[in-house]
Amino acid sequence: MSNCDCSVEIDSRNQSRLLWILLAINGFMFVVEVSIGILAESMGLIADSLDMLADAAVYGIGLYAVGRSQTIKITAATVSGFFQIILGIGILAEIARRIVYGSDPEPLLMISFSVLALIANVICLALISKHREGEIHMRASWVFSKNDVIANTGVIVAGVLVHAMDSRIPDLLIGSLIVLVVLRGGFTIIRDAKNEKLTQQACIDEPEHRSAEGDY
C-alpha cells in the first residue's frame, strides 16, 4: 500500500470518528430539545430540535459517503441539502398551525435548554471546523453545524423577549427565522454540490479533450 493510500485511509477513519461523535451529540440533543419544546409549547425549541434531527441525518449520510467515490460524496451532500429544505417546509407548516390555533411558550424552559443546546452545537462546530474547506460531504456538515449555533442563539433571544413582552410572537418569529436559516443552508449546499459536480466533470473532460487533440 502506498503512502497516499495510507493517508486517505487515515483521513477516512478520522472523518468517520468525527461524524459518529456529531451524530451522537445531535441525536441526543434532538430527543432532549423536542421533549422540552413540546412541554414548553415553544415553536423555536421544536424548530431547533428538528434542525438537530436533520443534522443527525446529514451526519449519517456523510458517514455513508466517507471513503467512497467523489460522485457518491456529491450525491450525499445533495441529498442532505434537500433533506434540510423538506424539514424547513415542515417547520413552516407547524408555525402556520400554531398561528391559527395558538400557543403559550414557557420562556424559562426555552432559555435554559437553548443554552444547553448552544453549548452542544458550539462543541460540534469546533470539532468540524477544520473540515469547512474539505470534501463536499464534510463541508455540508460544517454548514449545518454553523446554522445550528445561529438557531440556538435565536431561541435564547426569543425566550428573553417572550418573558419580557409576555407574548408568543417572538417565539413564532424566531421559529420563522430558523426556517429561513435551514432553507438557506439547504440551498447553499445543493449549489455547492452542483459546482463540485461541474468541477469534477471538467477534470474528466480535460484529459479526454487533450487526448482527442493528440490524435490529430
Query: What's the grid cell of residue 84?
Result: 434540510
Estimate the crossing angle of helix 3-40 against helix 136-165, to 10 degrees: 20
Q: What is the pLDDT, as a whole number, of residue 9?
A: 53
Q: How far is CA 5 from CA 1, 16, 71, 144, in A?
A: 6, 17, 19, 30
Q: Can you give the residue ranges of every domain in the chain?
A: 3-209
Q: What is the pLDDT, as a whole number, of residue 175?
A: 85
Which letter does DSSP use for residue 128 in this model? H
Q: What is the pLDDT, as a whole number, of residue 122?
A: 93
Residues 6+ apart with CB under 8 A from 89: none
Q: What percent of the chain has pLDDT over 90?
A: 9
> pLDDT (tens digit, 9 = 90+) per residue, 185-215?
889 888 888 888 887 777 665 555 555 555 5
Across 78-99, average pLDDT: 86
Q: Does 119 score more than 90 pLDDT?
A: yes
The mean pLDDT value of the chain amounts to: 81
Q: What percent of the chain has pLDDT over 70?
A: 88
CATH fold for domain 3-209: Alpha-lytic protease prodomain-like (1.20.1510)
Q: What is the pLDDT, as a whole number, of residue 185?
A: 81
Which letter does DSSP use for residue 38 in this model? H
Across 92-112, average pLDDT: 86
Across 103-110, average pLDDT: 87
Q: What is the pLDDT, as a whole number, of residue 3?
A: 45
> pLDDT (tens digit, 9 = 90+) per residue, 12-58?
788 888 889 989 998 999 999 899 988 888 888 888 888 888 888 87
